[in-house]
Amino acid sequence: MQVLAQVIFGVIFLIANYFMVKNILRIRKTILLGKDVSIEASSQRWKNVILIAFGQKKMFKKPLPALLHLFVYLGFLIVNLEMIEIIVDGFFGTHRVLFPLLGSLYSFCINTFEFFAAAVIVACLVFLIRRNLIKVPRFSGVEMTSKPIVDANLILVVEILLMVAFLSMNACDYLLQQAGHEHYTSVGRFFISSSLSPLFAGLSSEALVFIERFCWWFHIIGVLAFANYVFMESKHLHIFLAFVNTYFARTEPAGKLQSMESVTREVKLMLNIPVETTETTTEPGRFGAKEVNDLSWKNILDAFSCTECGRCTQQCPANLTGKKLSPRKIMMDTRRRAQDMMKGIESQGKEFSDGKSLLGDYISEGEIMACTTCNACVEACPVLINPVDIIVQLRQYKVMEESQAPASWNMMFSNVENNFAPWKFSPSDRFNWVQKLD
């Protein structure tokens, strides 16, 4: 029986990991649909990872949700250390294999895991209440269709169930230790689970063993299923990608717009400014971006790192004044288009075409033209996502390839072209006002 359990465990573990690796590689392939950009390494990038991804610095603008999120995040990292022991026990048919190695430290570790498991339960319950009963405004919006809403709720419920299983397993284990049941090594009392043990008192040894084993299997299968789900299409990918994304995030000032190399070169030539020989002379395939693969891999990585928290949309002045623009929707649509394109490439090959494009079928002109490029969304994002970079590239396509700028902008463009300024004065007239001075 024990050997059969070990074999079943091994098969489940290997299958789950096979699919997880397959999904990770698929996400990588989808992100790399974007154009190549080189991002230089710097110490600032590591600082961002430590402060913003690990330290969750930007979350603490609102301390209470930040603290609850920190509990869930630490709980996820810390409680899953218990998985090391569960996996070793599963493969070798042992029970609490780390106890003899860690001695008294073992009790400290499990007590810490239990504290965070209880904190995760409380935090997830509060999050469910905020989403579904209090209905915090930033969790709604045109892009928050049933799929993202179910995704967010499902993960919270699963996390609660996993933590309840973990605590129940330890509570039954404690009672079985007390009863001197063979196989249940005496490892002592853990504060939270032993406090829960009266809930199971009075059950027979067989029933306790059944519940303990059920919770053990539920916990391991649940964690493996959770990991697979996250690497499919869930917003919870941010648990992992937040670290990668903060590393690769822009370190230049947010307001600095990326100029197009080929256009810069032409302007320099026009103005007789020396052009560096290293500057590219090749024609760009397309000005700006119409399709998701016109964007860079970093833009697509941004989209996959989005937590759908809505902090960007909550701060967006265009959204607040009733315009169609929601930076969260820009990121969600970019991810959806990248996923659709990947599915198409897998079924039809590299020449895939479904007659759709990111601009037009997923993101509308009205949305991108409403952006003021104020960067409030970038400032608000807890994982350093940059929706403006995508919006600007989509606009560049609209203006430079389709010549479809709003009429009010065309005047400004011709002023810049003729007067080197957005105003309707020639450079020689610019200082006429001086003549009116005494």
Query: Which residues contact ligand SF4 by CB under 6 A?
Result: 306-312, 315-318, 325, 327-328, 331, 371-377, 380-381, 383, 385, 387-388
Taking the least distance from each CB to ligand SF4, the nearer of 250 and 265 is 250
Dig out the tokens for 292 from the structure.
């998701």
| Shortest distance, position 386 Cβ to ligand SF4, whole Å | 8
DSSP state, residue 136: -
Taking the least distance from each CB to ligand SF4, the nearer of 56 and 307 is 307
Asked if residue 166 lies in contact with residue 117, where contact means CB atoms within 8 angstroms, the answer is yes
Cβ contacts of 199 within 8 Å, gap of 6 or more: 171
Burial class (CB in 10 A: 0-12, 13-18, 19+), 142: exposed
| Shortest distance, position 147 Cβ to ligand SF4, whole Å | 15
Asked if residue 269 lies in contact with residue 287, where contact means CB atoms within 8 angstroms, the answer is no
Q: What are phi and psi of 296, to 5 degrees?
A: -90, 165
Taking the least distance from each CB to ligand SF4, the nearer of 122 and 233 is 233
| Shortest distance, position 314 Cβ to ligand SF4, whole Å | 8
What would the DSSP string read from start to end of 99-168? Answer: HHHHTHHHHHHHHHHHHHHHHHHHHHHHHHHHHHTS--GGG-STT--HHHHHHHHHHHHHHHHHHHHHHH
How far apart, in Å, are the Cα atoms of 31 and each of 19, 241, 255, 304? 18, 12, 25, 8
Taking the least distance from each CB to ligand SF4, the nearer of 79 and 332 is 332
Taking the least distance from each CB to ligand SF4, the nearer of 219 and 329 is 329
Q: What are phi and psi of 35, to 5 degrees?
A: -70, 155
Taking the least distance from each CB to ligand SF4, the nearer of 230 and 385 is 385
Taking the least distance from each CB to ligand SF4, the nearer of 187 and 371 is 371
Closest listed residue to residue 332, CA positions, set 312, 355, 348: 312
Taking the least distance from each CB to ligand SF4, the nearer of 17 and 373 is 373
Cβ contacts of 293 within 8 Å, gap of 6 or more: 33, 34, 35, 341
Asked if residue 185 lies in contact with residue 125, where contact means CB atoms within 8 angstroms, the answer is no
Taking the least distance from each CB to ligand SF4, the nearer of 333 and 340 is 333
| Shortest distance, position 302 Cβ to ligand SF4, whole Å | 7
| Shortest distance, position 236 Cβ to ligand SF4, whole Å | 12
Question: Residue 125 CA to chain centroid, in angstroms?
Answer: 21
Q: What is the signed CA dihedral for 30, 34, 37, 40, rounded to 10 degrees?
A: -30
Closest listed residue to residue 189, CA positions, set 204, 207, 208, 170: 170
Asked if residue 169 lies in contact with residue 89, where contact means CB atoms within 8 angstroms, the answer is no
Single-letter amino acid code for the residue at 225: A
Helix ranges restricted to H, 271-420: 297-305, 311-315, 317-320, 327-348, 365-369, 376-380, 387-396, 407-419
| Shortest distance, position 337 Cβ to ligand SF4, whole Å | 16
| Shortest distance, position 326 Cβ to ligand SF4, whole Å | 8
| Shortest distance, position 108 Cβ to ligand SF4, whole Å | 35
| Shortest distance, position 372 Cβ to ligand SF4, whole Å | 4
134: helix, strand or coil: coil
| Shortest distance, position 305 Cβ to ligand SF4, whole Å | 7
Taking the least distance from each CB to ligand SF4, the nearer of 144 and 187 is 144
